[in-house]
């Protein structure tokens, strides 16, 4: 028989007997209290509402209860149902029962929670909800360890009802909410749905609202690329874009962006132009304030929900929110606008890019456990969640010309692998092997991948005014990586193609600046995948034949006769020998298809030879030299062995 049923029977007996002895009344009451206490002391703090309120439970409208639960939690009226009960034996029974329950709960609280025992006397709540509110109180403690423990206890609670998760969602503070979002075991019921978005202005469209937001941002003292993206977004509309697609748009005005967006819905293309500009603006702190003040958080959320089938749009929006999260005074508006629930859901995505963009933003919001700040283009592949695993070293991945933070490091595609993509087993197929394979084999590493814009030809440059040299890019990346804490622990650099030249330049620059000495002192080694230390055939072909039409500055710097490249090689070789860095070089032996008619050996063996370290030829082309065919392939296993051996002493400590 349940406690509730037993209580009701006893109450009926008490209320309906005509002349029972008083000892029988109190015997029944003591039996109820005894049974109640034994259940509580047996470990259950969750009593049914009927057991606590007795007769009130018999007359309570259950629809009201369910409705209240859906809102947040049940509020209990203290006014008695019937004033005549104040002096009857039923009233005395209820009074004694409540007194006993509160006493036992308070005792349990003192035993389990210590300093939070007084919570019961200060919070208006039901007794069976005390555990939830104790955790909320604990999560607001001045003691960081107590706050962290409270989050862990919330995550460990598997027996809660929906309304109890809503209690946490409504009452927890920013730190707790971010902690839950950055925990792998978090239940999405911890996060409230985003508030209802404000309606668009009358006769307005999202495209027009985006342009209005962009126009409200400062337009002076900007670099040339921000000015370019902004003017492009403000000068074009979906109508003008559609009209120009009907003519010879390739060779007039801003033909290249139109060519790249050909086939897209015109309004979506204009939205992308606006987002490109907003990404650049969001790198400026004062512009982030303007974006927030002018309703940008809500507008971007509307656009994000509208383009669920367009990952590129969603990623650009995530980049903007991630950049805004670098400013701590904007954390509260970001949370209040409902972005945390979106980010928490994206973190659980099977799409590595989506999850990584969300992880970067949440890490920037998490000032409880994260000291570093991850600027645009710097992504932590592992660990993306909060973890108790101590991080002992960093491994950095730097892509090359036309590469990216994720696609450069995907698994090599072949017929067998393509058939295995349907499997969720990441040991058989992965779209980013550093995140899945390396993170699993070396869990004590922090794995970072960087991304930056490159182009083979100035025709295809996203910003025609952009002329970034290797020296410029290396300084930019070094600044971002230092903000992410690179140099605070042992480091191994992993690079492909031109990315290796950036690594060399970054280390040389760091060696010349005393404030960056930790980057040099903590560098243990580097892995080069087909890095053209002495120039590339692709660069020679592009410059001599003009195959790509106006080769970009990056391509020109890869030519064998490039003075900058020769100086970089000579300086770095002397520097690396002096520091006794561990080095591993891989190089392709197969040609790479350039278009449908041309095949080039992009980096020959003699160019990939740094002059120190092992040089290992592999029977793949330039694109696949950094993409292992499978986890037990030589490319991955040799890479893994180098990392483990180079960091052996650091990982043991």
Predicted local confidence at residue 198, as pLDDT: 86
Whole-angstrom distance, CA of residue 552 vs CA of residue 556: 6
DSSP state of 389: S
- Report the pLDDT averaged over residues 450-467: 65
What CA dihedral angle connects 75, 80, 82 and 83, to 10 degrees? -160
Residue 274: C-alpha distances to residues 214, 231, 261, 313, 316 (Å): 7, 9, 13, 11, 10
Predicted local confidence at residue 443, as pLDDT: 96
341 shares its domain with 398: no
Whose structure tokens read 């330039």?
622
Residue 564: C-alpha distances to residues 67, 76, 400, 469 (Å): 71, 77, 17, 10
Contact 196, 185 (CB under 8 A): no
Domain-located, residue 43: no
291 shares its domain with 312: yes
333 shares its domain with 451: no
636 shares its domain with 489: yes
Range of the domain at 642: 377-413+428-652
Residue 133, pLDDT above cutoff 50: yes
Domain-located, residue 459: yes
291 shares its domain with 158: no
Predicted local confidence at residue 120, as pLDDT: 42
Is the alpha carbon torsion for 100, 103, 106, 107 positive or negative? negative
Taking only the tens place, the pLDDT of each residue in 224-283 is 888 888 988 888 654 454 444 443 333 333 333 434 443 444 567 788 989 999 999 999
548 shares its domain with 608: yes
Final residue of a domain: which of 337, 355, 370?
370
CATH (domain of 331) = 1.25.10.10
Contact 60, 49 (CB under 8 A): yes
Is the alpha carbon torsion for 161, 167, 170, 175 positive or negative? negative
In the 3-class helix/strand/coil scheme, how is 594-638 assigned residue by residue?
Answer: ECCCEEECCCCHHHHCCCCCEEEEECCCCCCCCCCCCCCCHHHHH
508 shares its domain with 603: yes
Percent of the chain having pLDDT more than 90?
A: 54
525 shares its domain with 592: yes
Q: Is the peptide bond preceding residue 421 cis, with omega within 30 degrees of 0?
A: no
Contact 591, 600 (CB under 8 A): yes
Domain-located, residue 582: yes
Domain-located, residue 15: no
352 shares its domain with 498: no
Element (H, E) at 382: strand 378-382
Domain-located, residue 390: yes
For residue 323, count other CB atoms closer than 10 A to its CB. 27
What CA dihedral angle connects 235, 240, 245 and 248, to 10 degrees? -70
Residue 380, pLDDT above cutoff 80: yes
Final residue of a domain: which of 335, 352, 370?
370
Domain-located, residue 53: no
356 shares its domain with 403: no
- Report the pLDDT averaged over residues 213-232: 89
> Phi and psi of 410, rounded to 5°?
-80, 170
Q: Which of 125-139, 366-380, 436-450 has the lowest mean pLDDT?
A: 125-139
* 582-588 sheet: strands from edge to edge: 378-382, 445-450, 393-398, 491-496, 523-529, 582-588, 614-618
Number of domains into which the chain is organized: 3
210 shares its domain with 304: yes
- Report the pLDDT averaged over residues 305-330: 95
CATH (domain of 561) = 3.40.50.1820
Contact 513, 507 (CB under 8 A): no
Domain-located, residue 63: no
Domain-located, residue 530: yes
Three-state DSSP class for 357? helix
Per the prediction, the chain carries an average pLDDT of 79
Whole-angstrom distance, CA of residue 608 vs CA of residue 92: 90
534 shares its domain with 640: yes
Structure tokens at 40: 């509580």
Residue 23, pLDDT above cutoff 60: no
Predicted local confidence at residue 454, as pLDDT: 75
């Amino acid at each position: 028989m349940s406690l509730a049923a037993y209580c009701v029977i006893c109450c009926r007996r008490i209320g309906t007997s005509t002349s029972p002895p008083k000892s029988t009344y109190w015997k029944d009451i003591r039996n109820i209290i005894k049974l109640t206490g034994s259940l509580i002391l047996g470990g259950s703090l969750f009593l049914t509402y009927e057991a606590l309120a007795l007769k009130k439970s018999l007359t309570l409208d259950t629809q009201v209860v369910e409705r209240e639960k859906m809102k947040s939690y049940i509020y209990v009226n203290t006014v008695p149902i019937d004033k005549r009960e104040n002096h009857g034996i039923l009233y005395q029974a209820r009074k004694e029962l409540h007194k006993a329950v509160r006493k036992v709960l308070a005792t349990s609280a003192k035993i389990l929670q210590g300093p939070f025992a007084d919570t019961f006397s200060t919070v208006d709540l039901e007794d069976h909800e005390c555990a939830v509110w104790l955790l909320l109180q604990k999560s607001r403690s001045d003691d960081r360890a107590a706050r962290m423990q409270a989050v862990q206890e919330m995550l460990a609670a598997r027996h809660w009802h929906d309304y109890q998760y809503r209690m946490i969602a409504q009452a927890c503070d920013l730190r707790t909410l971010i902690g839950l979002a950055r925990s792998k075991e978090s239940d999405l019921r911890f996060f409230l749905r985003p508030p209802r978005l404000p309606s668009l202005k009358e006769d307005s469209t999202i495209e027009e609202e985006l342009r209005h937001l962009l126009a409200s941002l400062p337009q002076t003292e900007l670099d040339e690329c921000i000015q370019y993206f902004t003017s492009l977004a403000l000068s074009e509309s979906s109508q003008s874009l559609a009209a120009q697609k009907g003519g010879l748009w390739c060779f007039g005005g801003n033909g290249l962006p139109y060519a790249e967006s050909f086939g897209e819905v015109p309004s979506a293309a204009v939205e992308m132009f606006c987002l490109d500009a907003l990404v650049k603006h969001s790198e400026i702190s004062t512009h982030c304030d303007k974006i927030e003040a002018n309703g940008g958080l809500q507008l971007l959320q509307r656009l994000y929900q509208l383009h669920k089938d367009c990952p590129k749009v969603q990623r650009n929006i995530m980049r903007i929110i991630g950049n805004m999260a670098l400013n701590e005074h904007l954390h509260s508006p970001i949370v209040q606008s409902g972005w945390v629930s979106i980010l928490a859901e994206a973190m659980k995505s099977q799409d590595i890019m989506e999850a990584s963009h969300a992880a970067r933003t949440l890490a920037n919001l998490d000032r409880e456990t994260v000291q570093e700040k991850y600027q645009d283009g710097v992504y932590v592949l592992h660990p993306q969640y909060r973890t108790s695993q101590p991080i002992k070293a960093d491994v950095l991945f730097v892509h090359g010309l036309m590469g990216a933070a994720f696609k450069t490091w995907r698994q090599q595609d072949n017929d067998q692998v393509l058939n295995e993509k349907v499997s969720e087993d990441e040991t058989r197929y992965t779209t980013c092997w550093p995140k899945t394979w390396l993170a699993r084999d070396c869990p004590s590493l922090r794995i970072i991948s960087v991304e930056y814009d490159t182009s083979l030809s100035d025709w295809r440059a996203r910003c025609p005014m952009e002329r970034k040299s290797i020296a410029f890019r290396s300084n930019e990346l070094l600044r971002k990586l230092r903000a992410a804490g690179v140099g605070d622990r042992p480091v191994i650099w992993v690079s492909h193609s031109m990315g290796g030249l950036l690594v060399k330049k970054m280390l040389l620059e760091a060696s010349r600046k005393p404030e960056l000495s930790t980057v040099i002192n903590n560098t243990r080694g580097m892995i080069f995948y087909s890095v053209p230390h002495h120039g590339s055939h692709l660069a020679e072909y592009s410059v001599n034949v003009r195959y790509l039409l106006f080769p970009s500055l990056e391509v020109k710097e890869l030519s064998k006769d490039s003075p900058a490249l020769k100086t970089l090689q000579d300086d770095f070789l002397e520097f690396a020998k002096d520091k006794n860095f561990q080095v591993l070089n891989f190089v392709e032996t197969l040609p790479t298809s350039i278009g449908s008619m041309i095949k080039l050996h992009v980096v020959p063996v003699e160019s990939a030879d740094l002059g120190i370290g092992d040089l290992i030829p592999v029977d793949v082309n330039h694109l696949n030299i950094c993409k292992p065919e499978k986890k037990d392939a030589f490319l991955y296993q040799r890479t893994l062995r180098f990392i483990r051996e180079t960091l052996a002493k650091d990982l043991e400590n």
